[in-house]
Amino acid sequence: MSNSGEIWVIGEQRRGRLEEVSLELLSKGTALSQRMGVTLSSVLLGDEVEEIARELVFHGAEKVYLLEDARLRYYQSEAYARLLSEVIKEHEPQIILIGATEIGMELAPKVAAKLRTGLTAHCIDLYVGEVDDTPHLIHVVPGWGGNLVMHIICPQRRPQVVTVKPGVLPKAVRDENKKGKIIRVKPDVRDEDFRWIETVEVVEEPPQGKSLESADVVVCGGWGMNALGDFSRVQELADILGGVVAGTRPAMDKGWVEEAWMIGQSGKTVSPGLFVSLGASGAMHYTTGFMGSKVVLAVDHNPQAPIFHVADVGIVGDLREVLPCLIAELKKDRMPRKF
């Protein structure tokens, strides 16, 4: 780590809308740039997105490198990766922060490979710490089945590329008085960038029911629901509470929920008023997905399950007994509930 070389946040826009994760990265980028005494910049690719570039400035970017071209309107796998790595090579930032979205998860390894540098994926935090008396950027990632938190450094290669899960960091505060430079870079878009793959249209899937991210109550089932054979009781509890059903990775693998309803590091991050966890052991890969919830209620028959370290209210018991009781009691209770 040095005090030369900027920190770059890759601004992600979709159809002319800035993804929230870019604002989250700018808040962390601001803290890191102040700590390291370096410039925080952003880079943005798209078509007619200058307004978004200004938003990046209002949220903390001191400079925005703007690459605009009609053919960059949508995310284009090859073109974005090549152009981004070229502009990085030219300006030599020392840290690249990318959101671990579907786009970021594809873009980051391509860029890192083109730059022959290290990538730490799915970070939940970043900070500057000392290793052998030398300051380093520490990349925090859950590892080894989610029961350990790894603190990773990239000592030899630059820039270091990091992806961060959307929803785990606070958003930067918008301030229209913030000043920053928008630097136009003429992108050299080539036909060969579209040889193998080209996005020609983006069709958004219509939302099915209440969205997971906006739900006040999320009821999430884990592998322990196997004891009941299916997810019908999870749905029943969610219906009574006016909530939305979600699942852990094994619940998704089992086919009880679709991937879009999986909670955790490689799934969705939620912060409802009430998060109910049923028969999930509490691996960190899972718990990072709901750490911002106001109240967490967990049911598991293993009193040692790590889920009880993060739960505000815990019920140790067999789901086959606890769930029918809980549902019956809640059905009786006619008090209005607000979460």
Q: Interface with ligand FAD by CB under 6 A: which residues?
A: 145-146, 222-224, 227, 248-251, 262-267, 279-281, 283, 285-286, 300-302, 305, 318-320
- b vs e for 178-216, b when ≥16 Cβ sit within 10 Å of the residue's Cβ? bebebeebebebeeebbeeeeeeeeeeeeeeeeebeebb
Residue 31 vs 327, nearer CB to ligand FAD: 327
Report, in Å, the least distance between residue 277 CB and ligand FAD. Answer: 8
CB atoms within 10 A of CB 93: 22
Residue closer to ligand FAD by CB (options 198, 253) is 253
Question: Which of 83, 139, 68, 81 has its CA nearest to residue 108?
Answer: 81
CB nearer to ligand FAD: give 58 or 286: 286
Burial class, 91, CB count within 10 angstroms (exposed 0-12 / middle 13-18 / buried 19+) = middle
Nearer to ligand FAD, 83 or 108 (CB): 108
Name residues whose C-beta falls within 8 Å of residue 226's C-beta, 6 or more positions apart in sequence.
Answer: 254, 279
Rounded least distance, CB 68 to ligand FAD, Å: 35
Cβ at position 148, least distance to ligand FAD in Å:
11
Minimum Å distance from CB 293 to ligand FAD? 15
Which of 275, 240, 244 has the alpha carbon at shortest distance from 260?
244
Give the C-alpha separation, 195 to 90, whole Å: 25
Q: Which residues pair with 43 in a beta bridge?
A: 10, 65
Shortest separation between residue 202's beta carbon and ligand FAD, angstroms = 25
- Of 46 and 264, the one with the shorter C-beta distance to ligand FAD is 264
Nearer to ligand FAD, 59 or 285 (CB): 285
CB of 169 to ligand FAD, least distance (A): 17
Min CB(326)–ligand FAD separation in Å: 12
Taking the complex as a whole, the smallest distance from the CB of residue 95 to ligand FAD amounts, in Å, to: 22
Structure tokens, 314: 């815990």
| SS3 state at 36 | helix
Distance CA 111, CA 133 (A): 30
When the beta carbons of 39 and 226 are compared against ligand FAD, the nearer one is 226
Rounded Cα gap, residues 234 and 319, in angstroms: 10
Helix ranges, 162-304 (H): 232-241, 249-253, 284-287
Would you say 29 or 250 has its CB closer to ligand FAD? 250
Q: What residue type is 245 in one-letter code?
A: V
